[in-house]
Chain A
Amino acid sequence: MRGIEAAGVCIPRLRISADAVADAWGRFSGTGIEEKAVPTADEDALTLGIAAAEAAMAEGGVDPRDVSLVSFATTTPPLEEEALAPRLVRALGLSESVSVRTHAQSTLSGAQALSACLSATSPALAVASDLPRGDPAGADHPFGAGAAAFLVTDSAAVTHLDSATYVDEFPGVRYRERGDDEVAGLGATAYERDAVRTSVIEAVNRLDADVSNVHAAAIHQPDTRTPTRATRGLPLDTEPLRRGTVVDRVGDAGAAGVPLGLLSGLASARGDDRTLAVFFGSGGGATAMLFEGSADAGLDDQLDRGERIAYPAYLRQRGYVGGAEVAGGGAHVSLPSWRRSLDQRYRLVAGTCPRCGSLAFPPEGVCPECHRNVDFDRVELPRVGRVRAVTVIGQGGAPPEFTDQQRRDGAYGVAIVELSTDDGSATLPAQLTDVDPETVAVGDEVRAVIRRIYEQEGIPRYGVKFTPTGT
């Protein structure tokens, strides 16, 4: 039966408590949210999505080259116009003939991505990744971040029983004006509650199934009260709703909110337990999906590993303050040059010298050992290696293209990392991320993650950074 074969999740490591936001503003407008996840300066919808998708692929039994569809959902793409999924295709080493779709513009896009994959007939990857922004004085309070990814196949552990959709015009509940990156709501409370509840109930009623016995229900969750309000009248107890709610610990993750709630529900499910997911989108309408089975993407582990930050650090990390254009420009690496190095930056593709067997990274020019002009054999280096040299670049020590990142995220570590295969080893310089750089020493084991490296000519560039395997 078609359904979810494996799932992956990525919650940024930083957290801020609702209390910290309340201390700053004298109030906190995110009912029931205790803390929320905070993306760091080098994370965005793409990097969170890649991390979740990598985890799902690692968990599932599908060769990356056999994935036939990638559906990426987000309301916060790094660029307003430009396909996002091809970057993920390159980063994960998927096939060049894969179909790609990007679903945006609505919190409902998570459902669209999942539906597209469930309707396909071959292995498909649905990714919902989001980090909404709003006016820090209020609309921003509940906004968190996260990503969920689902590997959808015909031999799934979690089977998809049914989906149903309801559509009607309900504008203004949650919208963003053209050219604005801050989400707003009209604030017409009764109307908004009615829009959500009507859409949710109508979608669920169109399911060809009884939901009274579901183990968990992940309902549109901008805060903890909405799932309860939106399902009033449906035969759902508080316990299933609780199992499908993660907004209290992640914050409002926009298009990734219900997908994360679904992962929470699936993680606690046993045997043929059923989990309901209902996505709402301002505009409006809702999609309901019913699944049977269980899957554990490790959401709880990630939720338990957060590191709390204070409100000023939060404002910096999210770029509300601190970011700036710097004089002098950046190191100019042309986009075509950068593109030629994508296999190295994403997949750590090195070259083996066919004459002497040495490893070259990047595999360009002559062999670094025998100095012969050879055609290197492609080899992917392992994604775990060791620090051979390391420094910490403090305030003021960064080249200008990293000034913005440093203002937001503080001092960063730069290591020379050795990656070893049976044939030898290669070294590369790379930034350290998700770690206090002062704690990293020569000899430490680190693993590769894909992050935003820098931006040039308005276009973000992504590649490998390293983080200690202990974190």
Chain B
Amino acid sequence: MTEAYVVGAGQSPFGSFPDESYRSLFETAFERALDSVDGGFERERIEEAFVGTLGVGGRQLGLSGPAVTEHVGLHGIPTTRVENACSASGFAFRNAVTAVRAGLADVVLAGGYEIMTDTGSDHTKWWLGVSGETEWERLSGTTFAGVYAQMASAHMDEYGTTAEDLSRVAVKNHRNGARNPNAQLGFECTLEDATSAPTVADPLTLYHCCPTTDGASAVLVASEEVAREVTDRPVRVAGMGASSDRVGLFQRGTLTGIPASRRAAERAYDEAGIEPGDVDFAEVHDCFAIAEIVAYEDLGFCERGEGGQLLRDGVTDPDGALPVNTSGGLKSKGHPIGATGTGQIVEAFEQLRGGAHTQVENPRYGLAHNVGGSGGSATVHVFERSAEGSA
């Protein structure tokens, strides 16, 4: 088995772009990914593509992969659309790595896109509920905010997590996002702003919820041989883990964690041969503030129930022992569903090459954690910086 490396990664700005289409945003992300390869990169070398999208708005539900790869000149290559709700492009990336490791291709594109801000509010809410368990969860009257709010209520009841802990996630991620020119909500907020904002689904306020976002992201995955040829600073995919679970929160036996994240993390750590304590920074799936707190626990950054304490201690701040969501996370950078997973990998790529907007000091291992729905699927990838000239 050959090793797989990330040799290029780019994203479009995340935000609301009435003048852009899903194709033009994907093109921006793709061109930036090509440009990020040190010596430049010819698109003709890309042999296969995996594209994540939920298809919000129904604008191109069928053949939504080829619709963008053909647009950017990847003519004729096999393209597969991956749909796993919010973890679509985490899984697209997994497919790309698998193809390279299996020796089926030397260069594979993984990416994703979503346009979410150009439909009316009823229509948008319709789409925000499509990845909940439809027959029971959705028809109890919830969209995702409601399901994660239920998770928060159970976590608060069981572990004493507070509304202020939820707000700390928002304050931290907004502070990071404010330094990221690609962030949708690139402004800072205070604990007071976050706690006193209007309630979306009790106990979650507006600041505890990610926005709806337009955006695209693209990552170039290459074999060791190609990686060695095109860059001195490739990023190694050190560990890969993924898992699925029942779609509805109520079906999973626990309301205070996401078992799929736990299983995915165990596999990724195992493959990378590291412990959670070896991770130098992480991009975690903070679609709602409670999701980041739960992620700390599922990823082994702390014990069950201690996620809030990690925030209170500043451990996950940029200058803490384990910075989380230096990009701003889904909360501030934005959450264009299909583009989120590979968007996280863009940040991991930049951190490990020393060019991130909120740069962590000399990191070796970075982690990206992408969740579908309320936990029906999850990917965890561990990345390692190459020692100089080693790849």
Cα A347 to Cα B129 with chains together (Å): 26
Report the stretch among A66-74, A181-189, A387-395 that lies at the interface: A387-395
> Contact at A391–B122, with CB atoms within 8 Å?
no
**Residues 134-193 of B at the A interface (beta carbon under 8 Å):** 134-143, 145-146, 149-154, 156-157
A180 CB to nearest chain B CB (Å): 29
Task: Using known A-B contacts A328-B126, A399-B142, determine if residue A389 contacts B137 with beta carbons closer than 8 Å.
Answer: no
> Contact at B150–A399, with CB atoms within 8 Å?
no
Contact of B199 among A392, A398, A453 (CB under 8 A): A392
Task: Using known A-B contacts A328-B120, A429-B136, determine if residue A400 contacts B126 with beta carbons closer than 8 Å.
Answer: yes
> Contact at B123–A328, with CB atoms within 8 Å?
yes
Q: List 22 A-B contacts (CB under 8 A).
A: A326-B122, A327-B120, A328-B125, A329-B126, A331-B126, A333-B134, A362-B135, A368-B253, A388-B255, A389-B249, A394-B199, A397-B143, A398-B141, A399-B142, A399-B143, A429-B142, A429-B150, A429-B249, A430-B140, A438-B202, A442-B153, A454-B139
Q: Which residues of B contact A331 (CB under 8 A)?
A: 126, 129-130, 134, 138-139
Q: Which residues of B contact A328 (CB under 8 A)?
A: 119-120, 122-126
> Contact at B150–A414, with CB atoms within 8 Å?
yes
Contact of B140 among A338, A429, A443 (CB under 8 A): A429
Q: Which residues of A contact B121 (CB under 8 A)?
A: 396
Contact of A453 among B128, B139, B200 (CB under 8 A): B139
Does chain B have a CB within 8 A of A58?
A: no
> Contact at B150–A390, with CB atoms within 8 Å?
yes
Cα A341 to Cα B139 with chains together (Å): 13
Task: Using known A-B contacts A397-B143, A430-B140, A431-B140, determine if residue A391 contacts B149 with beta carbons closer than 8 Å.
Answer: yes
Does chain B have a CB within 8 A of A402?
A: yes
The chain A residues found within 8 Å of chain B, CB to CB, are 326-331, 333, 337-338, 341, 362, 368, 388-394, 396-403, 405, 412, 414-416, 427-431, 437-438, 441-443, 453-454
> Contact at A398–B250, with CB atoms within 8 Å?
no
B303 CB to nearest chain A CB (Å): 21
Task: Using known A-B contacts A394-B201, A399-B141, A399-B142, determine if residue A389 contacts B123 with beta carbons closer than 8 Å.
Answer: no
B263 CB to nearest chain A CB (Å): 14
Q: Which residues of B contact A405 (CB under 8 A)?
A: 141
> Contact at B122–A403, with CB atoms within 8 Å?
yes
Cα A167 to Cα B22 with chains together (Å): 72
List 8 additional contacts besides A397-B145, A429-B137; criterion CB under 8 Å.
A328-B122, A362-B135, A392-B201, A397-B143, A414-B140, A414-B142, A416-B154, A453-B139
> Contact at B139–A397, with CB atoms within 8 Å?
no
Q: Which residues of A contact B329 (CB under 8 A)?
A: none
Number of A-B contacts (CB under 8 A): 126
The chain A residue with its CB closest to the CB of B209 is: A397
Does chain A have a CB within 8 A of B246?
A: yes
> Contact at B129–A341, with CB atoms within 8 Å?
no
Contact of A337 among B135, B142, B201, B246 (CB under 8 A): B135
Contact of B125 among A333, A390, A400, A429 (CB under 8 A): A400
The chain B residue with its CB closest to the CB of A461 is: B139
> Contact at B126–A399, with CB atoms within 8 Å?
yes
> Contact at A368–B251, with CB atoms within 8 Å?
yes
A135 CB to nearest chain B CB (Å): 30
Q: Which residues of A contact B135 (CB under 8 A)?
A: 333, 337-338, 341, 362
Does chain A have a CB within 8 A of B248?
A: yes
Q: Which residues of A contact B248 (CB under 8 A)?
A: 429
> Contact at B150–A416, with CB atoms within 8 Å?
yes
> Contact at B150–A327, with CB atoms within 8 Å?
no
Q: Which residues of A contact B122 (CB under 8 A)?
A: 326-328, 400, 403
> Contact at B142–A391, with CB atoms within 8 Å?
yes
Q: Which residues of A contact B143 (CB under 8 A)?
A: 397-399
Task: Using known A-B contacts A394-B199, A397-B200, A400-B122, determine if residue A388 contacts B154 with beta carbons closer than 8 Å.
Answer: yes
Cα A326 to Cα B125 with chains together (Å): 11
The chain B residue with its CB closest to the CB of A330 is: B126
